[in-house]
Amino acid sequence: MPITVQFATNRALTGPAERLESYSADIVPPTDPAAVTYATAFVADADLTADTVGAITTIQNVASGGFSAQAAGDLADPGRNLLVFIHGFANSFENAITRAAFNTQWLSGANIPGSDTTVVAFTWPSLGKVLSFPVPTADYQSDQVMAGQSGPHLMRFFANLLPLVQAARAKGRRTTLIAHSMGNWALQAGVESWFAHGNGPAALFDEAVLAAADERADSFGFPRNGRLSGLSRLAGHISVYRSSSDRVLDVSRIINGIERLGQRGPDKGSDPTLFPPSIYRLADCSAFRDFDFNFASSHQYYRRSPGVRDDIAAAVAGTRRAGA
């Protein structure tokens, strides 16, 4: 049965939005919210056992600057909890959409009441490449720039999502954000842009899951709602999934010259005054080996490890007590 993925993207279009190849790695103007494309993708079933994603079969309900009436109706009354997904580095448009479908499928397979979700993805203009020559870090740095420049578009996406989340919450549904890897770099830009444009606190997410975050470890300590310091004003609870065994983030730390949030968690994360357990949870995933562990997969434990997946599913369902 096809998996439905509602999505928004600030990738510039090179052709009709219904065509997969139209979604480029270029970014739309930050001053034109109507340039952001919203649509519905249908993705074939994934093979969870083989860790493979399904293919995008069709793209429908295309709209500019906001969700179509049909998509908005589906999100406001989803019949299940909502999952918002922001992908990481080296994800093409197709990668981003099929990974969103894969994530909602493994969540529904967790057999935890409330972990079944309707998914909406935000995909920013990643090149979809790991490295190129003669400069091996150029693709990474290009993606990082694009993620950072996506802040105003992500802010507008949040604004469009907010009334739908509120309508779903009125029907007893929770909303969880999962930001993976460099998706957290895009997230900090969106959160900072939200407050920089005069928006106030908003109950946008019940839970924000920051998985293997390729973001500065001191991000929560910035003043004036800088970087991720304002996230607690948009999310009721924040779970930081980190691993000192994440080899990809070891490389990222060298490139950026500063420790990453997903390695040992936030700076001063053990201080309960700065990180009260009622709001923050720091989940150490360093010892998980219940999957095919290697260089690349060490950064994908949030979806590869059955143990971590069950833990995230409990967060999505809201069955884990705060701080646990």
CATH code of the domain in which 256 resides? 3.40.50
Distance CA 303, CA 322 (A): 22
Q: 89, 127 in Cβ contact below 8 A?
A: no
According to the model, what pLDDT value does residue 30 have? 87
Q: Give Cβ neighbours of residue 58 (< 8 Å, ≥ 6 apart).
A: 18, 41, 42
Between the two ends of the chain, the Cα-to-Cα distance in Å is 35
Q: Is residue 131 part of a domain?
A: yes
pLDDT value of position 136: 72
30 vs 36: CA distance, rounded Å:
9
Instruction: For CA atoms 247, 253, 255, 256, give the dihedral sign.
Output: positive
Residue 13 domain flag? no
Split into its structural domains, the chain has a count of 1
- Is residue 46 situated within a structural domain? no
Instruction: List the structure tokens of 146.
Output: 């694009």
pLDDT band at 32 (very low <50, low <70, confident <90, very high): confident
Per-residue pLDDT at 158 exceeds 80: yes
Beta bridge partners of 118: 82
What is the spatial distance between Cα 291 and Cα 304, in angstroms, rounded to a whole number? 6
Query: Is 53 part of a structural domain of the chain?
Result: no
Is residue 25 a part of any domain in this protein?
no
Instruction: Look at residue 323 in the predicted model and tell me its pLDDT.
Output: 44
Cα separation of 228 and 244, whole Å?
Answer: 21
Residue 57 resides in a domain: no
Whether 5 is covered by a domain: the verdict is: no
Query: What's the pLDDT band for 111 if we cut at 50, 70, 90?
Result: confident
Cβ count within 10 A of residue 318: 18
Q: What is the pTM of this model?
A: 0.96
43-95 pLDDT per residue, tens? 998 665 556 667 899 999 999 999 999 999 999 999 999 999 999 999 999 99
Any domain includes 312: yes
Give the lowest-confidence range in 62-76, 98-112, 123-137, 261-275: 123-137
Containing structural domain, residue 230: 65-90+99-317
